[in-house]
A and B are shown apart, each in its own frame.
Chain A
Amino acid sequence: MTFVKPAFRHPDAPLNELGRSRKDYEGGLSTLCAGCGHDSVSAAIIDACFELNIEPHKVAKLSGIGCSSKTPAYFLSGSHSFNSVHGRMPSVATGANLANRDLIYIGISGDGDTASIGLGQFAHVVRRNLNMTYIVENNGCYGLTKGQDSATMDTGSPNKKGDINMYSPIDLARLAIEIGATFVGRSFSGDKQQLIPLIKAAISHRGFALLDVVSPCVTFNNHSESTKSYEYMRGANTDMPVDFVPMRQEITATYDSGATCEVCMHDGSVVRLYKQDNDYDIEDRQSALEATSHYAKEGKILTGLLYIQRDSEELHDVLDTARRPLNSMNEQQLCPGPRFLDSINAGLR
């Protein structure tokens, strides 16, 4: 394994509308295990940001603790990043977002970080509909502490030692739909075709967007009986292909139009879904919950955009905060000055 990232890039590498190449969206060399699903997710984030013509410095990356939470170092090195404490990324993201609503917030977490130690903060950031993209790199185990079961591990699924998990799993996507998330997608780190447009749609969504991405742990949870392995996912994944058309781009049909469904998002971009037999209304919570549980009963995992509420009030709308970022205000806007204090003093005499 090499420890130096090659600096060479093809001179004819394509540029996006900002004149930046994909390289401008990369980060440091990953220190994760070779073949880790998380690296594919990082690559998909790089592609999504490059294709969306996002200025890297307008992104803030946030994470908790764990293998997944290390990954913000491996993409968008031109962005500020905050690797916080275990399970507490949502609160740091909330504060950061309140301070400056003009940045794009991408949170990276894992199944331990979100479904166990951070379940409380996760639930509340969903409830508040914070405008951010929240990606869970879900591998059903604790990688950094060497393979313990996590709360998303399916019942009956054995770990590497052969112990069968007897506890019931937390399905983060279903939980998020239940408690008010306005964008919930599920994907597989090995399915770039689906993951990149989903990330693009999540970033374009105004409000809280969860992407629960099954991302196999090659070291501790990639054996044939694991429900979070590459092999299992390739067999059980019932994917609902997704395409994302940014605002201003012409929508051209690639599939038979009868099988597609186009969802126009808040900013004018369009998510195009290629429906198969899973014909349900993704703008209806109940319908989304029923569809996911229907596939789960059959031992399958439904991936794609599971639920979307296109127009919702994100946290700043609810709080009715100023359009201008709070961190850009100075004494003039914020300090009432000594004269008001005189009136306060007078009222206390």
Chain B
Amino acid sequence: MQAKQSVNDFVIKFANVNGTGSASANSMFAKAIFRMGIPVSPRNIFPSNIQGMPTWYEVRVSQDGYLGRRGGIDIMVCVNPQSIKRDVAEVESGGYFVYDSTKPLDLRLIRDDVNYFGIPFTDICLREYTDARQRLLFKNVIYVGALSALLNIDFNVLKDLVADQFKGKEKLITPNIYALELGYQYAVTHFDCPIGIHLERGHKLAKHIEDFDNILMDGNTAAALGAVYAGATVAAWYPITPSTSVVDAFDKYCRRLRIDPGTGKKNYAIIQAEDELSALGMVIGANWNGARAFTATSGPGVSLMSEFLGLAYFAEVPTVLIDVQRAGPSTGMPTRTQQSDVLMAAYASHGDTKHVLLFPATPAECFSMTVEAFDLAERLQTPIIIMSDLDLGMNEWMSPPLEFDADFKYDRGKVLSAADLDNMEERFGRYKDVDGDGIPYRTYPGVHPDKGAYFTRGTSRDEYAAYTEDGDEYVRNMDRLLRKFETAKSLVPEPKIKQSEMETRYGAVFFGTTASPAYEAIEILEKEGIDLDTMRIRSFPFNHEVEQFIKEHDRIFVIEQNRDGQMRRLMLNETSVPAKEKLIPILEYNGLPVTARKIAGMIRNYVTHGNVTPLTRRTAAEEITA
């Protein structure tokens, strides 16, 4: 039988039961590979449930440094009998299947093109441990030990990780290392180790990773740190997957970094609000009063926040919102990823509204863009929405280290101090376009005993903030808001454009977490003679470079993770280039991060057949369950 052979290049998937402690063992597995200097990208594929349901952990190991999903599974580690049918079916021909052999495997699950490795995990645990909880928890550690033999993971790296993990709980270190050894010993005694697919330290330098000075971090933690560095003092939020860990991490860092050394008091405030409406209301109130404040939520929360987003837009109150997108509509698939809030976020609220969006693609960008969002919000006096997603927010990504300039100064925007007000000859007009950039001057409440007070409202007002129903005044104000949005184009992050080595009239556009698999797909296609220039969009409104890219290409594949091609529609709507025929939607919306193979397949299909047929071929797994 053919057994797959590869070094530092494979996809392994763990099939677990959620709530059994598998997450920390799986994460240790991925981190060990990372510490061996081999690029790795792990992903949790988890249910909206606390205990007892199937959950998976997929790890891509890629010497070349591809961090997106590839597609296909080479090795399946099955510790959950509930999902074993589909798990067996998912393994690619020539792949490997590691399973608990305490009970013999159902003969119907035996494929002749897959290599089976049975390890009696349950038996080992029953023999070694008396406590039910220990039997459950150590099973996870034992399979990691077995994999270290099968895949050639440096055992010392694992030992160090155990020591790191249990810092402060030292008495747990020895039993965990013992459990690793149990698995390791079983594997070396019963199988030829390592197997055909395995790891080698320092094999060759990764193609897409310049040096290995990388970190492994999730986007939500990075965004939270960004908020700390940006000087956010107020966070108001309502729990919702997959955004909850943003404020959790903000809380954690604030407890370390924001306690006044003299008084022991907190230089921050976090409120778990009664709902998302209230969360955004608090953020708006705090920003209005001169503190930097933010909230983090997901699609359903943004829906609820829409009214307030319109108020912040129209009343011109800085606001920072982190939207960690998940699969909608409605409750949708709350633990699956998507990029399907693009249009809602861009136009959230009734009336003519538009919002500034930022699209981070890496944890390093989650950090830097969150820092930037607070400056932009205050500079532009408008909501800034950071469009992350579940894949980026909740999974650990290899990322360049976080950087922060020691001389960085916050841009608090156009705020008049008491002295400014005293030195002003003309009357203060809150909504007056003094500089011609559409951005007016504001004052903080309480700034001056006699000057600078104004009435903030969501109703129409004149330049001096007085209520008016005068149509001309209203139009003047709405047009100024549009002028301000034009100004935003010069302030938001520019797109990243990469020219193909070969001259081409074809291009690809993508953003956020679609970038990694898209770059890989472009390389796959390049080898086949299909050359594409690429543009990674990093913000909305679109600036001149985005328009230019559309102009310069005959066909542009817009790759995104939603059904309706929302970014494509936004581009059609918000650029001056007629491009309806040019922009070809390349879409994935099944809730799992799109794979490089799938993107390459769809583009190849278009190029060779002149049309795009999404690959709807059912997987072998679906055939078995059906």
Contact = CB atoms under 8 A, between A and B. Distances in A.
Interface of A: 28, 55-58, 60, 62, 72-73, 77-85, 88, 90-100, 102-103, 120-121, 123-124, 128, 316, 319-323, 325-327, 329-331, 333-338, 340-341, 344-345, 348-349
- The 10 A-B pairs at the shortest CB distance, nearest first, are namely A95-B285, A91-B281, A99-B291, A80-B445, A95-B282, A327-B290, A95-B286, A99-B289, A348-B215, A92-B285
Contact of A91 (B277, B403, B450): B277
Contacts of A123: 274
Contacts of A337: 404, 406
17 contacts: A28-B466, A58-B446, A82-B288, A83-B455, A85-B458, A92-B288, A94-B278, A95-B281, A95-B283, A95-B288, A96-B286, A98-B271, A99-B286, A321-B265, A326-B269, A327-B289, A335-B231
A100 B291 contact: yes
B285 A329 contact: no
Contacts of A330: 231, 410
B233 interface: yes
B149 interface: no
Given A124-B273, A331-B409, A60 B268 contact: no
Contacts of A326: 233-234, 267-269, 286, 291
A98 B234 contact: yes
Interface string B266-309: 11111101110111111111111111010000000000000110
Nearest to B232: A334
A124 B274 contact: yes
B93 interface: no
Q: Which of B269, B274, B409 has most chain A Cβ within 10 Å?
A: B269
A292 to B, nearest CB: 26
Contacts of B260: 322, 333
Given A84-B311, A85-B458, A322-B266, A341 B277 contact: no
B453 A344 contact: no
A326 B113 CA distance: 64
Interface of B: 35, 214-217, 225, 228-231, 233-234, 236, 257-258, 260, 263, 265-271, 273-275, 277-291, 293, 307-308, 311, 401-406, 408-410, 443-450, 453-459, 466-467
B446 A60 contact: yes
Given A326-B269, A329-B267, A336-B229, A98 B217 contact: no
A78 B428 CA distance: 13
Contact of A334 (B233, B263, B449): B233
A94 B279 CA distance: 10
Contact of B265 (A62, A320, A349): A320
Contacts of B287: 95, 99
A70 to B, nearest CB: 8
B275 A334 contact: no
B446 A120 contact: no
A97 B459 CA distance: 23
A100 B445 contact: yes
B322 to A, nearest CB: 17
Given A77-B453, A331-B410, A98 B278 contact: no
Contacts of A348: 215-217
Given A73-B455, A323-B263, A88 B289 contact: no
Given A98-B234, A99-B289, A327-B291, A92 B282 contact: yes
A98 B269 contact: yes
B359 to A, nearest CB: 23
A88 B267 CA distance: 26
Contacts of B443: 80
Contacts of B280: 91
A344 B225 contact: yes
Given A100-B290, A333-B260, 6 more contacts: A78-B449, A88-B278, A92-B288, A98-B233, A341-B225, A349-B214
Given A73-B467, A327-B444, A341-B402, A100 B289 contact: yes
Contacts of A325: 291
Nearest to A322: B265
- Of the candidates A121, A341, A349, the one having the most CB atoms from chain B within 10 angstroms of its own CB is A349
Contact of A78 (B283, B450, B457): B450
Contacts of A72: 455
Nearest to A73: B455
B233 A92 contact: no
Nearest to A83: B457
Contacts of B289: 60, 95-96, 99-100, 103, 327
B445 A96 contact: yes
Contact of A88 (B308, B409, B456): B308
B274 A341 contact: no
B279 to A, nearest CB: 8
B282 A94 contact: yes
A99 B233 contact: yes
Given A96-B289, A345-B402, A121 B278 contact: yes
A84 B283 CA distance: 13
Contacts of B290: 99-100, 327
A226 to B, nearest CB: 29
A83 B311 CA distance: 10
B450 A321 contact: no
Contacts of A327: 233, 286, 289-291, 444
A80 B456 contact: yes
B587 to A, nearest CB: 33
Contacts of B406: 337-338
Contacts of B285: 62, 82, 91-99
A4 B595 CA distance: 69
Nearest to A88: B281
Nearest to A80: B445
Nearest to B418: A57
Contacts of B281: 84-85, 88, 90-92, 94-95, 121
A344 B402 contact: yes
Given A98-B291, A321-B265, A348-B216, A329 B233 contact: yes
Contact of A331 (B231, B233, B279, B291): B231
Contacts of B270: 319
A55 B449 contact: yes
B257 A336 contact: yes
A320 B259 CA distance: 10
A89 to B, nearest CB: 8
A60 B405 contact: no
B231 A334 contact: yes
A85 B278 contact: no
